[in-house]
Structure 1
Amino acid sequence: MTTTRENPPSAFLLGGDLPVSRMGFGAMRLPARELAGPANDPETSAAVLRRAVELGVNHIDTAWFYFHEGLSANGLIRRVLRPYAEDLVLAAKVGPVRHPDGSWGAPAGPRELVAGVHRTLRELGRDRLDLVYLRLHEDDDATSAERFGALAALREEGLIRHLGLSNTTTGLLAGAQRIAPVAAVQNMYGLFHRRNPDVLDACTEQGIAFVPFFSLESLGRQEPSEPLARIAARHEATAAQVKLAWTMARSPVVLPIPGTSSVAHVEDNIAAADLLLDPEDLAALDALPT
């Protein structure tokens, strides 16, 4: 993989006080490649997590509902990484309710959100969570303030350092900010699904971390072979690396968290942070249909 200019800053100050590498790691695929299974080999998943940290990742995104049968992302993180490095930032989501059999329930109310935070603390073996996202749903407008307020109360108690929103709009972001500071937003965003660009714009203007998930996915769409393949070949990179580099080039507040159950893929993903695309590359990729 080649670069042609000086690389942009590789770190971001999350919440104004937590330095994190811009390329993070999403733990969703540690227990199983898909939430429905089959389960991954625990030692392979442990090796993936260990390798990510070895390569400089200090921002890991997880959730208590990332599990398959007896294997959970939080359990793997605790087993592999504890005692935790001082600079390791663990971000967790609450909101969805998942039963032990893997089925999903109604979105969590305030009490269930509090229980989810306490469960995450126990599973990770921590006294305080660095960042907790409230995962929103389409019908959350009427209840988002009360639910976010429950997490804000835990922040006041010292159990949460920073708060975030996942799957949000600019309107919901503004409403949450009237309750407590929002340090990060986690929305679906990538080369082939550029949803809610106004949210990214708002985060850029305010210095809020924008953490895109599913950046590598096409969401069922047929990917054009050109110019993606041509750009990847010219940089001696993979198409996935080009997608990640494009995403990071959108704004200095973008912190991708690609997840994988493969050591080779985690190495490739992290290396994408060093890939700097030319203006011509970016223009060609910007023009692709979404």
Structure 2
Amino acid sequence: MTVPTVSFEFFPPKNLEAAFGLRDCVRSLAPLEPTFVSVTYGAGGTTRKLTHEAVTAIHNTSGLPVAAHLTCVDATKEETLAIAQTYANAGVRDIVALRGDPPKGAGKFTPHPEGFADSVALIEALAKTGKFNIAVGAYPETHPEAGDQAADIAYLKHKVDAGATSAITQFFFEADTFFRFRDACVKAGINVPIIPGILPIANWNGTQRFAKACGASIPQVICDGFNHVQDAADSRLLSTAIATELCDELVTGGATHLHFYTLNQPTLTRDVCHALGMTSKAQLQNVA
């Protein structure tokens, strides 16, 4: 089997203990030589400062390429582009440009009066700077706010036309879900890499909540498996097997890069990568 390249997504730490956890997570996964790692924004832009600090810390101390998430939520155009410029000044050249989730309890996204109206407007502005590679989100299963998949794909095409250079999908659990989406994107004239997003199931209850919120379906066979596990060890083995099988099917079907949503818990992701034939290189010594 061809060994794919990989990337890993983290979320920014909210306290000192979590900062050490992120450091250990990066240290654990860095020897797999990811093409890049990314750091998310919280809903409503709540972790903007923390995201910036985490991105710059990882970039400055690990030597890994870092992609910073940037959203349209609760900020003026000037403020958002100023954040992007600080990344450029720090040597960060990759941005994941997203509309962003509304603040908790807000119900729906409402643009800032002086902000970007949507992700397309943000992408256009970032592309005009000429300073960044711009990744965007994509949805193999229809986004909860989209009318249907055709509308989803048409909007992704708008993002690519605005300057996006790649797309990272929401997580899914069946390879055919990705392949159908990928083929529909090609048919629509979308010619940038479509990177499958993988969520190893570290917490079954949490995964069910995530899936419900973003419209991702969970096959009954996975539900049955987790309903019958006896302990944490069995759960980990099942999670590793599910994610490894999915990744193997994706690579066999032509995927050359896999993006893992780690939730700052590196063990499952590392185990899946090893099962796919990736070998760890020398450990990093200076990851903060």
Task: Please indicate the TM-score interval, normalised by the length of the shorter structure.
Answer: 0.5 to 0.7
- 1:245 maps to 244
Shift of 1:113: 0.8
Deviations 1:121-142 (A, max 9, x none): 9xxxx92135222456234137
Find 2:23's aligned residue among 6, 31, 46.
46
Find 1:255's aligned residue among 254, 258, 261.
258
- 2:32 maps to 55
Report the AA paired with residue 13 of structure 2. P
Aligned counterparts, 1:247-286, within 5 A: 247-252=246-251, 253=255, 255-262=258-265, 266-275=266-275
Q: Does 1:153 align with 2:161?
A: yes
Q: Does 1:132 align with 2:133?
A: no
Shift of 1:86: 8.3
Deviations 1:217-266 (A, max 9, x none): 5345543238x967x9xxxx84443333233233312725041335xxx1
Q: Does 1:210 align with 2:196?
A: yes
Q: Contact 1:92/1:131 (CA < 8 Å) preserved in 2?
A: yes
- 2:77 maps to none
Q: Contact 2:197/2:261 (CA < 8 Å) preserved in 1?
A: no
CA distance in structure 2 between the aligned counterparts of 1:120 and 1:269, rounded to whole angstroms:
31
Report the AA paired with residue 3 of structure 2. S
Q: 1:107 to 1:250 in 2, by over 3 A?
A: farther
Report the AA paired with residue 244 of structure 1. A
Report the AA paired with residue 21 of structure 2. T
Q: Contact 2:200/2:239 (CA < 8 Å) preserved in 1?
A: no
CA distance in structure 2 between the aligned counterparts of 1:146 and 1:107, rounded to whole angstroms:
20
CA RMSD of aligned residues (A): 4.6
- 2:8 maps to 25
Identical amino acids, percent of aligned pairs: 7
Q: 1:59 to 1:216 in 2, by over 3 A?
A: farther
Find 1:183's aligned residue among 190, 193, 210.
193
Q: Contact 2:165/2:192 (CA < 8 Å) preserved in 1?
A: no
What 5-or-longer segments of structure 2 have no aligned partner? 68-93, 209-222, 278-288
Q: Which has the higher contact order (CA 8 A, sep 6+)?
A: 2
Shift of 1:45: 1.8
Shift of 1:274: 2.1
Q: 1:42 to 1:85 in 2, by over 3 A?
A: closer
Q: Contact 1:64/1:116 (CA < 8 Å) preserved in 2?
A: no
Deviations 1:54-110 (A, max 9, x none): 3322243444446655653454123211489687675725233334xx555535788
- 2:83 maps to none
CA distance in structure 2 between the aligned counterparts of 1:178 and 1:78, rounded to whole angstroms:
37
- 1:92 maps to 96
Find 2:55's aligned residue among 64, 67, 77.
77
Q: Does 1:112 align with 2:118?
A: yes
Q: How many pairs align?
A: 213
CA distance in structure 2 between the aligned counterparts of 1:152 and 1:74, rounded to whole angstroms:
25
Deviates more, 1:243-252 or 1:110-119: 110-119
Q: 1:269 to 1:70 in 2, by over 3 A?
A: same
- 1:174 maps to 184
Q: 1:128 to 1:59 in 2, by over 3 A?
A: same
- TM-score after normalising by structure 1: 0.52
Q: Contact 1:213/1:257 (CA < 8 Å) preserved in 2?
A: yes
Of Structure 1 and Structure 2, which has the larger fraction of its residues in helix?
A: 2
- TM-score after normalising by structure 2: 0.53
Q: Contact 1:65/1:98 (CA < 8 Å) preserved in 2?
A: no
